[in-house]
Each structure stands twice: as C-alpha cells, then as structure tokens.
Amino acid sequence: MINFLLKTILFLFTLLAGCISCTEEVMQPLEKDEVCNLTFPSYFPEMTFNTSDNPVTKNGVELGRNLFYEGRLSRNNTISCGFCHIQENAFTHHGHTVSHGVDDRIGIRNAPPIQNMAFLKKYMWDGVIHNLNEQPIIPITDVNEMDSSMPEAISKIKNDPKYKKLFKAAYGDENITGERVLKALSQFMASMISADSKYDWFRQGKEKLTSEESQGMALFNQKCASCHSGELFTDESFRNTGMYYNDQFKDAGRYRVTLDQSDWMKFRVPSLRNVEYTAPYMHDGRFYTLEAVLNFYTDNVEDNPNLDPQLKQNNHIGIVMNNQEKQSIIAFLKTLSDKNFISDPKFAE
C-alpha cells in the first residue's frame, strides 16, 4: 500500500515536472525555430519568393515583425515601416496621398499595400525592384522616408538585448548584419498573405455572391480584368491610363526607370485586393473614393500617345459604364476585403 502511494506521488511529481518544463517552453518560444509553411489557395499564382535563398522561419518572421515596427531604423528614431504601412489600411497609409517621412518630409508616391508580396515579380509603382529581399534598403535610406543607413540603423539596435535574443533565435548567433535585417523584413512581408475575403470564400464554394456582386464581377471581367487580371487582380504590367502628369511631384512612372519615352506615365497595375481599405488611390493618391476612380475611368481619361489601347477602343476615350454598373463593380470590389488580414494579431505591432 505504501509502495502504491509512493508510486502515485512519484507519478504525480513527474507530471508536475513535465508541466513545469512545458511552461518554461512557453516562456522561451524563440529558442526553437521551425520553418513556416506559407499557405495560400491553390488558385493563387506560383510563389516568386525564393525560400531556398531566404527560408521563412517562425523566428525570422518574428524578428522581421519587430524590425518592421522599429523606429530606430530611421534617422530620428520615429519613422518605422509600420508608420507608413498601417495594418488597418492593408498596410498602406489612409491619411496621406503621398508618403510623409522623417521631419514630415513629403515623398512623391502613395504607399501601396503590403500583401501577397511573395507572389509579385516587380515591386514599386515603377517596378524598379525585382527582389523583395532588397526592397527595404530603399525606404531605410531614402531622404524623404527614413533617411538613415544600414550601418547607422544597426549601430542603434545592436546592443539592445531584445535584438540580441531575436537575432540569435533567427540566425543562430547574435551577429546583426545588413543582410540579416533585410532578409528578416522580407520574411515578415512574405508571410503577409491575404486570401480570406468573401471573394475567396466564393472561389472555394463556401459562400454565394449577391446578385449585385455577381453582376459587378461580370462587368469587372469585361471592362477591367484585362489589366487587373488573375487572383491578385494585377497582371503586373505598366500601363498609361491617361492620368494627367502631376507637376507637383514630377513623377513619370516607369519612364524614371527606363528613360524610354514610350514608358512616360506608365505605372504598374495595382492589385485590387483589400482596395476598400487602401484609399486614397493611384500612384499619387489623387482619388479618395472608389466612386472617384470609376468616374475617372468614364469621364477624365486623357488621350496621349502612350494611352493604353484598352482605354481608347472604337475611338472612345475611357471605359463606358453607367452609374448602376459602377455601383455593381464597387460592390464586387468590396468582396475583395479581407477583414481577418487587417486584424490578424500575427502582423500587428
């Protein structure tokens, strides 16, 4: 009997010890790393993000998230990536037409959303960047954005015990290098996949669209999908949509990259996922509502030698739509809203 009691006590003790080591593990989750399997619907395009060059891991993403919200990557320690790329606006900036950076300096472009970056081939409104791992160096060093440098940014965080721990957890040692900073930011951005909208539920046969939404989808496929094509709603081409050249910012789009006159005022076709949350619209944020964008397509497209042929069919400049059709298209565009993405705590500060 005593023997039995002893055994029971011993058994309970082992259980308790097991629990203690469990809680220890909960307190130190960063020590063990594991590969993150990025999940996305089968109808998505192929992933362009190269995971053999930069494997996405749990701790790499966690480090990237901390760096994304780190003001010390900027000269005056106040402007983080998250300052311009705000989660509730699908990681764009609702309040600003063009970006405001260090000392409230004004950039020339509207911050695009950060979502589904792992599937794009070209980044920025003019496609100047081809590799997501290289992208963050631009905002960190741009005088109108964070106005810092990689050595300066590293010197400010390298003695912070938080970063020593995070770098060790992600890379095996505490060494902080520019490449590691960039790759961690890139891992975080690669993990930001938005594919949980009403449209996706419809696509997966889990939900029906209303009749207005399906009418909108049919009109969209007819009038818009030649450029806003596929499941990301962009073919990633550069197009001239007949928008006036904005003298304030002197931004001629793709022309800035190629200096080829035929690229004058061509901009990358933007994804329309989460477009309900990403106002203002266009490369310089000139329109505040989706209604204004659609009114532009019907009434204000300006002819010019580079105007996309889709926007001057049968000698008509612009896209023909009546008000009711515009409303249906907007109803469809709102099915691309992914509430879970903009409220997911995984991506929050």
Question: Which spans of this chain sit near ligand HEC (rule: CB under 6 A)?
Answer: 73, 79, 81, 83-85, 99, 101, 107, 109, 111-112, 114, 117, 123-125, 135-136, 139-140, 145-146, 185, 189, 223-224, 226-228, 239, 241, 243, 267, 269-270, 272, 275, 278, 281-283, 290, 293, 297, 308, 310-311, 319, 329
Alpha-carbon distance of 44 to 232, in angstroms, equals 8
Q: Looking at beta carbons only, is 224 or 331 nearer to ligand HEC? A: 224
Rounded least distance, CB 19 to ligand HEC, Å? 40
Rounded least distance, CB 229 to ligand HEC, Å? 9
Contact 290, 220 (CB under 8 A): no
Q: Looking at beta carbons only, is 30 or 225 nearer to ligand HEC? A: 225
CA dihedral (301, 304, 309, 315) positive or negative: positive
Q: Looking at beta carbons only, is 31 or 53 nearer to ligand HEC? A: 53
The alpha carbons of the chain give a radius of gyration, in whole angstroms, of 24
Q: Name the token pair of 317.
A: 């400049």
Rounded least distance, CB 212 to ligand HEC, Å? 15
Alpha-carbon distance of 270 to 45, in angstroms, equals 16
Q: Looking at beta carbons only, is 34 or 46 nearer to ligand HEC? A: 46
Rounded least distance, CB 33 to ligand HEC, Å? 21
Q: Looking at beta carbons only, is 166 or 272 nearer to ligand HEC? A: 272
Q: Name the token pair of 265.
A: 């005022």
Which residue has 């022309």 as its token pair?
Answer: 255
Q: In angstroms, what CA-CA distances link 215 with 26, 180, 311, 326?
A: 50, 48, 21, 10
Rounded least distance, CB 120 to ligand HEC, Å? 6
> What's the full length of the chain, in residues?
349
